[in-house]
Every structure is written in structure tokens, then in C-alpha cells.
């Protein structure tokens, strides 16, 4: 079995020598333990434990976390992790908290089989409870950082 192809890239090009943009994580990568293993509207996918993001209504928002990646190699690792079912594209993210900000970030948008999109939202707590241990090779799952449930990032389509 050949490895999956990395995500396609339609993100805005970065200026020469620029640091990578932050990455908005809205699914399994919100769990620090899963993110560490890989070095628009969120949908559950029928038969899969991870979600998909697709354009929707302007008022819709998706809670997730904004990850400030350190290197371009880390982005390439994420591209391989997400596979060619996703397209890395650039969006504006509105952060929450005392000082809400608009931040340009990359996000992995679903471009796979649209027939497996569910009409229900993906359940992060359910993923942590039922699926994450398997993703981590059966290892011990520490208590997941509260940052994901606190809604530190909300993505609005713009």
C-alpha cells in the first residue's frame, strides 16, 4: 500500500524568508497529543473519526485552535498528515478572549468525497474519549489541554 499523497496547496504564497503562517486546527489536531504525533463548517464524516471543513453560511463558525508553527518543515509534515483529501488554503480567523483579533491562517479544507459528509457537527470530546487512543497507537492518553474546549479560535468565512 503506497502512502497517501500530501494535501494540495492553494494557500497564499509567503514572501521570501517569511515565517510560516499559523495553522487553524479544527479536528483531531486540536489534541496536543495527536498534533505531537505528526511532528467553514465542520462536518462529521460517515465512517471516519475525523472531520471535514467546507464553505457554508457567513454566520457559521467553527471552534478550534490556532497553532503557531515554527518551521516550513512542520507545515510539510502537516500536509502529509492531512493527505490529498484536503487542500491547505488561507482564511481569516477571529480569535476569542479579552483581545479578539483577526489573524490570517492556513486551514485544511475538505476536497474529498462529498458523499461522506454528514449533516452533523464533528464531536471533539467524543473523538478524545473513543478514538484518540487508537490514533496514538494504544498509548496512554493524558488529559487533553482545555484550550480546545475553551474555543480559543473561531473561524468565520470571509
What is the C-alpha to C-alpha distance for residues 117 and 46, in angstroms, rounded to an integer?
6
Residue 108: band (very low, low, confident or very high) from pLDDT cuts 50, 70, 90: very high
pLDDT in tens, 33-85: 676 555 468 888 999 888 888 877 666 778 888 888 888 998 998 999 888 99
**For the chain, what is the mean pLDDT?**
79
For the segment 85-96, the average pLDDT, to the nearest whole number, is: 88
For the segment 107-112, the average pLDDT, to the nearest whole number, is: 91
Q: What fold characterizes domain 8-156?
A: Hypothetical upf0131 protein ytfp (3.10.490)
Question: What's the pLDDT at 32?
Answer: 67
pLDDT in tens, 12-24: 998 888 888 988 8
Question: What's the pLDDT at 143?
Answer: 46
Which of 60, 42, 45 is CA-nearest to residue 109? 42
Question: What's the pLDDT at 94?
Answer: 83
Q: Which residue has the cell 478550534?
A: 64
What is the C-alpha to C-alpha distance for residues 22 and 18, in angstroms, rounded to an integer?
12
- The structural domains of the chain, with segments of one domain joined by +, span 8-156
Q: Report pTM.
A: 0.72
Question: What's the pLDDT at 131?
Answer: 86
What is the C-alpha to C-alpha distance for residues 84 and 38, in angstroms, rounded to an integer?
16
What is the C-alpha to C-alpha distance for residues 134 and 25, in angstroms, rounded to an integer?
20
Residue 100: band (very low, low, confident or very high) from pLDDT cuts 50, 70, 90: confident
Amino acid at each position: 500500500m503506497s502512502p497517501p499523497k500530501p494535501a494540495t496547496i492553494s494557500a497564499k504564497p509567503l514572501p521570501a524568508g517569511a515565517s510560516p503562517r499559523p495553522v487553524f486546527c479544527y479536528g483531531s489536531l486540536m489534541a496536543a497529543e495527536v498534533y505531537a504525533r505528526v511532528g467553514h463548517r465542520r462536518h462529521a464524516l460517515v465512517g471516519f473519526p475525523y472531520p471535514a471543513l467546507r464553505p457554508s453560511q457567513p454566520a457559521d463558525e467553527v471552534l478550534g485552535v490556532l497553532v503557531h508553527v515554527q518551521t516550513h518543515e512542520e507545515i510539510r509534515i502537516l500536509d502529509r498528515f492531512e493527505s490529498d483529501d484536503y487542500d491547505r488554503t488561507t482564511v481569516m480567523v477571529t480569535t476569542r478572549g479579552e483581545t479578539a483579533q483577526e489573524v490570517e491562517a492556513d486551514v485544511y479544507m475538505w476536497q474529498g468525497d462529498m458523499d461522506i459528509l454528514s449533516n452533523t457537527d464533528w464531536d471533539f470530546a467524543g473523538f478524545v474519549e473513543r478514538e484518540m487512543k487508537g490514533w496514538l497507537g494504544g498509548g496512554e492518553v493524558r488529559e487533553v489541554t482545555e484550550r480546545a474546549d475553551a474555543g480559543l479560535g473561531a473561524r468565520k468565512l470571509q
